Structure 1
Amino acid sequence: MSSAASNPCSPNPVDKPAVKRNSEDIGWEYGTLVNPADLNVIKCKLCPMVVKAGIYRLKLHIASIKGQVRSCPNATPEDREKCKKAIGDSRKAKIARLLEKQDVIDAVANEMDTDDGTGLDDLGSSQPRAVGIPFNTINCDEFDQVLEAASRFGPGAKKPYQHELREKLLHEEVEDTKKIVKDQAEEWKRTGCSLMTDAWIDQKRRSIMNLCINCCIGTSFVQSKELSAESHTGEFIFEFVDNFIEKFGDGKKHIVQVVTDNAANNMAAKDMLYVKRPNLFWTSCATHTINLVLEGIGKMRKFKNTLDSAKSLTIFIYAHHKTLSLMRKFTKKRDIVRPGVTRFASAFLTLQSLYEKKDQLRMMSQSEEWEKIRHVKKSAKGVQAIATLVKSSFWNGVSLCLRVFEPLVNVLRMVDGDTKPSMPWLYGEILKAKEEIRIAVGNMDKNGTGLYKSIIENVDEKMKKRLDCPIHMAAYCLNPYYSYSKPSIFHNEDVIDGFFAAVETFYHRDYDKQTQVLNEDFHKFKDKVGHFGKNVAQLGCKDYNFSPDI
């Protein structure tokens, strides 16, 4: 027997469980603390021996490794082998840690051997970029390298000045940015690019307008200008964009479209740009447009009452720490407010979260803990919150909102995401969303009037001349995911007119190219002639994840 003294029924008080350091260490099978307050004084369970240097010394005692402590006379060969193996494993782990540290030291040594005496500056300047100075900086390998470099310089070593660090990093970032822009400029020549505008107000209330160039491999910021003193009229925006295009040099030949939001001044600038540069497309921001669609539907009386009630309920719950704590107790610490890509998307996600926790919230409103909260029954907002939670009409309204909004929110997520170029899918997914909304309201528009008609009128009004432009129609028509699975698209007058208008814009005044595309290339695509007829060309047409990059 390896340990009679370890019998759990032993009356010896020193064998009672005590707090241990490294409690999973195998050594604790053979030892017990003499005093729980001193983790280094341990009594052997197999003999009267007491060691005063920790569990490692006890394992030496059991393993009969001579030199530091007497061997245990009662340890069996099995006990000795177990402790020898544990000691050996511990030594191997220690050696591995030392080797890992040596790798860091060698990396620093290589830096020092190859630099010109400014190694400390080089290593120091990499820290902010590598870790962004969070609390876990100390766990980063680069931090170990800095310490090793500092120790090699010895006493009196000086850190780089802030100015030296900042300037060095700035030059490095500038060079990296130039390389990125150069790579993207090559892509502009091959596939074209888009010019995007974005106006915003900073914390100092200054009006800033940014211009960015976007292509299929990324986006490059190209210009920013403070325009606080200017009135942002349509004419001013047109001149600002047009001047940039004119100064863009050879790159202006590769700009295909200008993208802005849907503000009235941008729409006015669009008309002016078309007169001067009829070969450019002006495209409205799809995210902004779809968000306007959702907000328009949300203002309809059928949905507004539900949204307002849900908003008042969540504000009431989050405004008081007792109601918030009780809500989290009933929902198992899950919040009901969830952020989204836009303000209305956040409202939809909050409705979705409310509906998922419907049963828990209704149970909360009927609980004794809820009734004991003073401001619940003493305030008008508290009484309203209770009424909202128990009313079936509210929850039915939430369900209808989710069924109507979800198809459009899915489109919003698609256009705001980075998983794939959204242009070829936008118009087709909006048509799909309209059909899902029709099903969601239960064909309630049988006589041409009613809820469905009002919703679709709102969608069409916000989309008109924004998401149904020629470039959208051309992208929809030329996406085989839609057109090959539903050939009637090729006979849709609106779609084909839009496609023709897009070709005329893209190949402005190049009538030979227009003729080739409209009379030859398009028919090859439509009839699946030549390469368009091969299986590989149609492989992704049945799968929404089809992408030109596959």
Structure 2
Amino acid sequence: MSDANVTATDSSTNEGEPSGSVGDNNKGSPLWKFVTVLVQPKKGEGGNCTFKCHFCNGTFHGSHYRVRLHLLKISGKGIRICRSIPDEKKREVEGLVEAYETGKKRGQPRLVPLPSSSIEGSSSGSTYGLDLMDEVVEVPKKRKGVSGPLEKAFNNNAREQLDCEIARMFYTGGLSFNLAKNPHYIRSYNRAASCPIPGYRPPGYNALRTTLLHKERMHIEKMLEPIKLSWQQKGVSVCSDGWSDSQRRPLINVMAACESGPMFLRAVNCEGDLKDRFFISDLLIDSILEIGPQHVVQVITDNASNCKAAGAIINARFPHIFWTPCVVHTLNLALKNICTPSSITSNKVAYDACNWISQVAEDVWFIKNFIMNHGMRLAMFNEHSHLKVLSIADTRFASIVVMLKRFRKIKQSLERMVISDQWEAYRDDDVTKARAVKDMILDDDAWAKIDYILAFTLPIYEMLRRLGVIRMSHVFTRFMSGGML
């Protein structure tokens, strides 16, 4: 089988095709041996390709499902049957298809009865050979003394079985339990219960990632039209910031903000690109042109030198658009210079005045690492505290202040831990470090310094907390509900 044939089958299912079509992963189907793929399927076309039959030399357009109809001479399905295939070859193809579908079915997960029910005729709970998509009628076990008017009225047995089916969906799919808190998850089942549709099947893999996704995007775009129209009267600011996703890919977000509310424009994957002033300015200029330069008042980025230079390039091209540094980033830099001042000559005044704060922060990090890196010490701490020791990345806004605030909350737990008999009895780690940690935790002067640091950094921290904690998921949720931030 050629690579082209394999590629042609690894695509989406056409809506309305039964099980066994391209979307069901028919890479190894023997039918592809008897056709030649002339045109590969395009993205978004549901796996439809152009193929040529080896027997009749006819050229057709469709998926694996249509190849099967053509070769097996199944008429009345919208494709001409192959009249040139010999009967002996047709029987061979039928045998190959039957063997392929049987092997594919055996490789599928076995259907396991639900906890609250048993499948008729199966005493072991294993139903080998049953497809999960097959219709299975489950016969509930009869329990004496349970069946009554109340149970019949509320249909408790059916409710229990449905709960078990939903729970198994979470377990086998590795879904987060937080999905159960999603209002759309709850409303989907409420709608299905209140408006039953006989024979309804939920949307499949391909519908979710193609037609329904496109439909949802168009709907969101329509809902955002009032905000876009307000840009003409009130003007708009283009905001940009960089971050990394769970796969450590560098991304740059671009948003439009105005009095009517913020709106997400795009996220660009910058992996492999040099994020200099020209790259950033080109990215922002594309967004400005999409909005309309006449509606844009300013661009807002962080205070990095490349972003500042990009703002100058934009201002040179659009003189009415000026660059504004991000307030959150500015405050974070100020707080960072207070908590961890640099020792360079130009920063000597701040270093001399605030260097003691960095020493306090280093002691706190030392205590945190000592507890977190020793399993027994961490177990001792967990016995005395219901709060956890935070592991905060240095890149987070106000990371030092956040750590100091948490240490202040767990002060009594730390003190109880180091004066306990367990702390003194455990000797398998560095005794010198353990004694140093105990002395630091019981030092009243150290706690007084932490209180002082938290007191005079409180205004900056509160401003950072109010401005820097809004997440994109929150923005999307508020837009979906028609609200504003």
What TM-score, normalized to structure 2? 0.53
Please state whether the residue corresponding to 2:239 is helix, strand or coil.
strand
**Conserved in 1, the CA contact under 8 Å of 2:331 and 2:460?**
yes
- How many angstroms apart in 2 are the aligned matches of 1:259 and 1:202? 22
The equivalent of 2:121 in structure 1 is none
- The alpha-carbon deviation at position 256 of structure 1 amounts to 1.3
The equivalent of 2:362 in structure 1 is 308
The equivalent of 2:338 in structure 1 is 297
Residues 287 and 141 (structure 1), Cα distance of their counterparts in 2 relative to 1, 3 Å cut: closer
Please state whether the residue corresponding to 1:343 is helix, strand or coil.
coil
Residues 371-386 of structure 1 aligned to structure 2 (within 5 Å): 371-375=424-428, 378-386=430-438
- The alpha-carbon deviation at position 414 of structure 1 amounts to 2.4
Residues 175 and 344 (structure 1), Cα distance of their counterparts in 2 relative to 1, 3 Å cut: closer
- The alpha-carbon deviation at position 133 of structure 1 amounts to 8.8
Q: Which amino acid aligns with 2:422?
A: E
- The alpha-carbon deviation at position 326 of structure 1 amounts to 2.0
Q: Which amino acid aligns with 2:232?
A: K
Residues 513-528 of structure 1 aligned to structure 2 (within 5 Å): none
Residues 18-97 of structure 1 aligned to structure 2 (within 5 Å): 91=150, 95=153, 97=154
The equivalent of 1:319 in structure 2 is 373
- The alpha-carbon deviation at position 389 of structure 1 amounts to 1.0
Larger Rg: 1
- How many angstroms apart in 2 are the aligned matches of 1:384 and 1:344? 29
Instruction: Tell me the percent identity.
Output: 24
Decide which of 270, 293, 296 is 1:255's aligned counterpart.
296
Pair 1:237 & 2:307 matched: no
- How many angstroms apart in 1 are the aligned matches of 2:282 and 2:144? 82
The equivalent of 2:327 in structure 1 is 286
Residues 344 and 415 (structure 1), Cα distance of their counterparts in 2 relative to 1, 3 Å cut: closer
- How many angstroms apart in 1 are the aligned matches of 2:460 and 2:304? 21
The equivalent of 1:152 in structure 2 is 198
**Conserved in 2, the CA contact under 8 Å of 1:337 and 1:353?**
yes
The equivalent of 2:309 in structure 1 is 268
- The alpha-carbon deviation at position 371 of structure 1 amounts to 0.9
Q: Which amino acid aligns with 2:313?
A: M
The equivalent of 2:382 in structure 1 is 328
- How many angstroms apart in 1 are the aligned matches of 2:187 and 2:283? 48
The equivalent of 2:462 in structure 1 is 410
Residues 413 and 202 (structure 1), Cα distance of their counterparts in 2 relative to 1, 3 Å cut: closer
Pair 1:180 & 2:223 matched: yes
- How many angstroms apart in 2 are the aligned matches of 1:55 and 1:210? 58
Q: Which amino acid aligns with 2:237?
A: S
The equivalent of 1:196 in structure 2 is 239
Over residues 267-306 of structure 1, what are the superposed CA-to-partner deviations in whole Å (9 max), with x where a residue is unaligned?
A: 1222333333232231111122211111111113110110
**Conserved in 1, the CA contact under 8 Å of 2:387 and 2:410?**
no
- How many angstroms apart in 1 are the aligned matches of 2:405 and 2:267? 39
CA RMSD of aligned residues (A): 4.2
**Conserved in 2, the CA contact under 8 Å of 1:340 and 1:346?**
yes
The equivalent of 2:253 in structure 1 is 210
Over residues 507-531 of structure 1, what are the superposed CA-to-partner deviations in whole Å (9 max), with x where a residue is unaligned?
A: xxxxxxxxxxxxxxxxxxxxxxxxx
- The alpha-carbon deviation at position 329 of structure 1 amounts to 2.4
The equivalent of 1:170 in structure 2 is 213
Please state whether the residue corresponding to 1:374 is helix, strand or coil.
coil
Pair 1:388 & 2:440 matched: yes
- The alpha-carbon deviation at position 169 of structure 1 amounts to 1.9
- How many angstroms apart in 2 are the aligned matches of 1:213 and 1:289? 20
Please state whether the residue corresponding to 1:248 is helix, strand or coil.
helix
Structure 1 gaps, min length 5: 1-51, 58-89, 103-127, 420-548
Q: Which amino acid aligns with 1:318?
A: M
Q: Which amino acid aligns with 1:357?
A: I
Residues 352 and 191 (structure 1), Cα distance of their counterparts in 2 relative to 1, 3 Å cut: same
- The alpha-carbon deviation at position 364 of structure 1 amounts to 2.0
Residues 259 and 144 (structure 1), Cα distance of their counterparts in 2 relative to 1, 3 Å cut: closer
Residues 164 and 56 (structure 1), Cα distance of their counterparts in 2 relative to 1, 3 Å cut: closer
- The alpha-carbon deviation at position 384 of structure 1 amounts to 2.3
**Conserved in 2, the CA contact under 8 Å of 1:341 and 1:413?**
no
Please state whether the residue corresponding to 1:174 is helix, strand or coil.
helix
Please state whether the residue corresponding to 1:359 is helix, strand or coil.
helix
**Conserved in 1, the CA contact under 8 Å of 2:240 and 2:300?**
yes
Residues 193 and 375 (structure 1), Cα distance of their counterparts in 2 relative to 1, 3 Å cut: farther
Pair 1:399 & 2:451 matched: yes
Residues 260 and 55 (structure 1), Cα distance of their counterparts in 2 relative to 1, 3 Å cut: closer
Residues 132 and 280 (structure 1), Cα distance of their counterparts in 2 relative to 1, 3 Å cut: farther
**Conserved in 2, the CA contact under 8 Å of 1:237 and 1:266?**
yes
Residues 270 and 402 (structure 1), Cα distance of their counterparts in 2 relative to 1, 3 Å cut: same
- How many angstroms apart in 1 are the aligned matches of 2:248 and 2:470? 31
- The alpha-carbon deviation at position 344 of structure 1 amounts to 4.6
- The alpha-carbon deviation at position 411 of structure 1 amounts to 1.4
The equivalent of 1:107 in structure 2 is none
- How many angstroms apart in 1 are the aligned matches of 2:302 and 2:187? 45
**Conserved in 2, the CA contact under 8 Å of 1:212 and 1:222?**
yes
- How many angstroms apart in 2 are the aligned matches of 1:229 and 1:341? 24
What TM-score, normalized to structure 1? 0.47
Aligned residues: 302
Residues 259 and 341 (structure 1), Cα distance of their counterparts in 2 relative to 1, 3 Å cut: farther
Residues 1-12 of structure 1 aligned to structure 2 (within 5 Å): none
- The alpha-carbon deviation at position 140 of structure 1 amounts to 4.1
**Conserved in 2, the CA contact under 8 Å of 1:338 and 1:349?**
no
Please state whether the residue corresponding to 1:279 is helix, strand or coil.
coil
**Conserved in 2, the CA contact under 8 Å of 1:306 and 1:398?**
yes
- How many angstroms apart in 1 are the aligned matches of 2:404 and 2:207? 52
Structure 2 gaps, min length 5: 1-142, 160-172, 341-353, 472-483
- How many angstroms apart in 2 are the aligned matches of 1:208 and 1:56? 59
Residues 353-502 of structure 1 aligned to structure 2 (within 5 Å): 353-375=406-428, 378-416=430-468
Decide which of 180, 184, 188 is 1:142's aligned counterpart.
188
- The alpha-carbon deviation at position 381 of structure 1 amounts to 3.0
Q: Which amino acid aligns with 1:198?
A: D
- How many angstroms apart in 2 are the aligned matches of 1:369 and 1:229? 52
Q: Which amino acid aligns with 2:409?
A: E
- How many angstroms apart in 1 are the aligned matches of 2:250 and 2:372? 34
